[in-house]
Structure 1
């Protein structure tokens, strides 16, 4: 993508394409909403509240002003729709959605003319079709909310650093200076998931990152804490509807 001043763009909605051999974009925010679509690779977006993992044919909605960091372990190709909030129905929270083939192709076409197009030409009408389709895209279960309580966040940070560790909640809670009962209650209150569900989702998202970077299913299963590869494949398929091999075809 040629460097442009995003704040100087006059169009309320536009699409820009980028390709990176690997990505480690520092913390930043945009004044517009962003719909970041991944066509190749796997993109990971983090805020202070959580993480969103975006495989091919998915996109992440980022709200205006959301301070975030974007990373990818391997080459990644994105097409990002930037939008003023009065021009596009923006969801109430950051989320990952599945992108249908029609929207895939429309974003590809819109990226060809980018931010410089007439307000009353065919390009504008193509953008209108994209805007009409965006609210219809289904939410995908590819995010994880971080707890806010400092004691529970210590447990979350320990699991983020070492997802394969097999410690039970009693052990992890003791290390964080909180009872297991309180930790269990706070996980549900602050993340909407039980401790076990939270850890399983964390392992799933880390597995997606590493599979997208080309690691083998067996290696990834062991790295995120599964001794039985078949169990990992079953959890993956139950969560995402496909085995790892089929998911990344």
Structure 2
């Protein structure tokens, strides 16, 4: 089994096994800055929460999902709190049948079990059994539908500057007009281009950014009241109500489910 200290040279070449699975175990938060490699990568977790980012999107990934990043695509990653996860590195010649753009997928029971089994393989050539299981993993990555779990980023440099500032501080309560003045763009252009480039209104995008940060803080065991106030909500009840309307459960119930899935990932099937 490979671990999180996998030699970078192994994932910067398509020589060797068609897939390499690296396991990661950590007790505290950990991050990897922007980087790229010639293999495609599937990020997933058994316990804990991941945030994965590329130039035009960010995903907060619970144990029920995984994120696919194609070869040579610059990306960054961050694990929140205690974490047990894995990365499946796919040789570039095997990637044409896989998603051409980064995306989140909902883990199937088959893909979850196959990757966990592949994580126990020793590094080196695959035998006939391993080759067949590797083909199953590739088929699952290629056939599972993308899940709209992420936060798309605008392309316009002025809008991206605003988006980056809000991701850095989701509690920033400046109005659309204030942000437009700050970024040297008209109110109308900001509003129109945000929808055109992200699919969300400015207000809806900001709420989604706050809720994604809330998921990260829930995984880090921050109290719900602190999360609400840290993210700029007027009262905890306002935050709890919005969270329930978005995810169908309260923040406390979501955290309990996240912990239960971490203990028994199959419980979500």
- TM norm structure 2: 0.82
RMSD across aligned positions (CA): 2.2
Residue 162 of structure 1 deviates from its aligned partner by: 2.3
Aligned to 1:95: 103
Write the distance in 2 (CA, Å) between the matches of 1:81 and 1:97.
14
Write the distance in 2 (CA, Å) between the matches of 1:230 and 1:48.
34
Write the distance in 2 (CA, Å) between the matches of 1:58 and 1:143.
11
Write the distance in 2 (CA, Å) between the matches of 1:152 and 1:133.
36
1:13 maps onto 2:16 in alignment = no
Is this contact kept in 2: 1:9–1:115, CA < 8 A? Answer: no
Aligned to 1:44: 51
Aligned to 1:110: 118
1:81-230 → structure 2 map (5 Å cutoff): 81-88=88-95, 89-120=97-128, 122-230=129-237
Shift in CA distance, 90/163, structure 1 to aligned 2, threshold 3 Å: same
Residue 81 of structure 1 deviates from its aligned partner by: 1.2
Is this contact kept in 1: 2:21–2:86, CA < 8 A? Answer: yes
Write the distance in 2 (CA, Å) between the matches of 1:238 and 1:171.
28
Write the distance in 1 (CA, Å) between the matches of 2:92 and 2:103.
16
1:32 to 20, 27, 39: 39
Shift in CA distance, 244/104, structure 1 to aligned 2, threshold 3 Å: farther
Residue 75 of structure 1 deviates from its aligned partner by: 2.6
Residue 138 of structure 1 deviates from its aligned partner by: 4.1
- TM norm structure 1: 0.88
Write the distance in 2 (CA, Å) between the matches of 1:152 and 1:118.
47
The answer for unaligned runs of 5 or more in structure 1 is none
The answer for unaligned runs of 5 or more in structure 2 is 260-269
Write the distance in 2 (CA, Å) between the matches of 1:100 and 1:41.
18
Write the distance in 2 (CA, Å) between the matches of 1:61 and 1:72.
16
